[in-house]
Amino acid sequence: MSAAILARLFTLVLPIISITIVVAGYSLAKLRFRELRSIGLLTRMGTSSWKFNESWASTLTAVGAILGLILAAEVIPKQPQTFSTTTYVMLNLLFSAGIVAATLTYNAIRWPKNVDVFDKGRPMIVDEERVQTTENQGFVLVFLVASSMTLWALFGQLLTTWLLLDEITRPLSPFVETFTRIVIPLSAFLTAVYGIASIPWTLINQTNRKGRNKDWIMM
């Protein structure tokens, strides 16, 4: 696969796939769950204890660790066939920065909002007045944008890992090479499924929290 085709994958195909997954997750949330049909793109979401990056923590850690381990081990051939070693390092930094940027995007666009405090599904009332607290809440639209950025970075890391492993395993047995070419696409598929499934559940718990004593976050 030529470098030009790979560049289009990184800059065009992967962003389109990421946005499509997020739109699918949002549409599923609106169609499947009655309590989410009234939410819009400007609906406020998020509690003071919820962090955007926590819902992706396990996936980000696993993929980033594998990619970083390969680069740190210096097992890449001296003359890689697809990209230079420097390019692989730059791609790793780019996608890592993309993940950080996604988190900053969501966290930066949050404003304080007074919300009711619930106890066992009912608003707490003291002296005939509802008890309220102030939370820095984000917006559904920003959450979807940040999720798209995160998915793009994850897919980019997976593709980079695939290319790196291909450089390493090519001289080895065909079995090892075949195994690698199965595991990485399977991981990408599971990441897509995870993205579609996690968006509805995150929206449920961060936009409609009556009766919930704690946030439910997919890990």
pLDDT > 50? residue 11? yes
76 occurs within a structural domain: yes
218 occurs within a structural domain: no
Q: Which residues in the chain belong to E strands, given as ranges?
A: 44-45, 111-116, 118-119, 122-123, 125-126, 129-130, 132-139
pLDDT > 90? residue 23? yes
pLDDT > 70? residue 133? yes
Please give the pLDDT value at position 13: 94
Token pair for 156 = 């980019």
Name the pLDDT band for 22 (thresholds 50, 70, 90). Answer: very high
**Residue 87: what residue type?**
T
Please give the pLDDT value at position 138: 87
89 occurs within a structural domain: yes
Q: pTM surpassing 0.85?
A: no
- Report the percent of the chain where pLDDT is more than 70: 74
212 occurs within a structural domain: no
- Spatial contact of 117 and 124, defined as CB atoms under 8 Å apart: yes
Q: Which residues pair with 118 in a beta bridge?
A: 123
Give the mean model confidence (pLDDT) for residues 52-58: 59
Number of domains in the chain: 1
114 occurs within a structural domain: yes
- Spatial contact of 199 and 29, defined as CB atoms under 8 Å apart: yes
39 occurs within a structural domain: yes
**pLDDT, tens digit (0-9, with 9 covering 90-100), for 136-195:** 888 999 999 999 998 998 899 888 888 888 777 666 667 767 777 788 888 889 889 888
Name the pLDDT band for 21 (thresholds 50, 70, 90). Answer: very high
Please give the pLDDT value at position 60: 58
13 occurs within a structural domain: yes
**133 lies in which domain range?**
3-207
Q: Which residues pair with 130 in a beta bridge?
A: 125
Please give the pLDDT value at position 71: 61
Please give the mean pLDDT across all residues of the chain. 78
pLDDT > 60? residue 209? no
Name the pLDDT band for 59 (thresholds 50, 70, 90). Answer: low
215 occurs within a structural domain: no
Please give the pLDDT value at position 114: 78
Residue 10's closest CA among 141, 137, 154?
A: 154
